Amino acid sequence: MKKDTLTLLPSRRQILTQVLPAGAFACLACRGVFAAIEPAKNKASAPVEMSYEEMFKGFYVESFIPTMKALGEELGRDKLIDMLKRASSRAAEQGVKEWAKKVPNRDLASFTAEMRKPSPLYQHALTFEIVEDKPTAFETHVTECLWAKTFRDADAADIGYAYCCYPDAAAAMAFNPKFRVTRSKTLMEGADRCRNRLVLEA
């Protein structure tokens, strides 16, 4: 994967709503990743240089994943995964509902717009192709995913799936209750690609 340099860090909101939980469909609602920020007012708010890989390592490998593994030891891994699926789904629902208030149409094209014109984050973290794009069906095949690579390399694919991939269905239904997500395989689970299909039911 191409190693690009990130010169402006995303805002806290962008980290929480895109960088941390994003999966193949997750957080399509969020906009403006890595948009220009105001000049630093103090030393703590100054931008820094890092690659996307370094950013993911800092967010996940050095903090989130070790914390989740430790919780898994305390609670039991299966219980942790179940809790993480529920919590990440609720967070995705809330985030999408807030964004949806500003979106005039609840159609498939509005929800999947980020995939047609990817943000810098998606451009650098994902390699995918759109294999179907109709008013009632949208499908992508993802062949590279920095989220999957990061979690799998850290022996935390189950945590990654629960946190990054599983909430996609809840996010889609929060935008439109008639949306349904089907996923026959994922990179996070060790497949050669993610096959993600989003359908608008009649």
Q: Model-level pTM?
A: 0.80
Residue 3 lies in a domain: no
Q: Return the amino acid letter for 84.
A: L
- The residue ranges of the chain whose pLDDT is under 50 are 1-37
Give the C-alpha separation, 137 to 53, whole Å: 32
* 38 SS3 class: coil
Determine the structural domain holding residue 15 and report its residue range.
11-37+49-200
Predicted local distance difference test score (pLDDT) of residue 47: 80
CATH number of 183's domain:
3.30.1380
Residue 159 lies in a domain: yes
Alpha-carbon gap, residue 9 to 5, rounded angstroms = 11
Task: Tell me the per-residue pLDDT of 86-128, one tens digit each, with 9 for 90 and over.
Answer: 999 999 999 999 999 999 999 999 999 989 999 899 999 999 9
Q: Rounded to whole angstroms, how far apart are CA atoms 166 and 126? A: 17
Q: Which of 197, 82, 185, 193 minimizes the C-alpha distance to 137?
A: 197
- Domain assignment of residue 43, yes or no: no
Residue 5 belongs to a domain? no
Q: Which of 45, 55, 41, 46 is CA-nearest to residue 5?
A: 55
**From CA 64, how far away is CA 154, in angstroms rounded?**
11
Does 89 fall in a domain? yes
Domain count, the chain: 1
In a domain, 4, yes or no: no
| 110 within a domain of the structure (yes/no) | yes
Residue 166 located in a structural domain = yes
Residue 41: per-residue pLDDT: 74
The pLDDT of residue 38: 52
C-alpha span between 71 and 89 (Å, rounded): 19
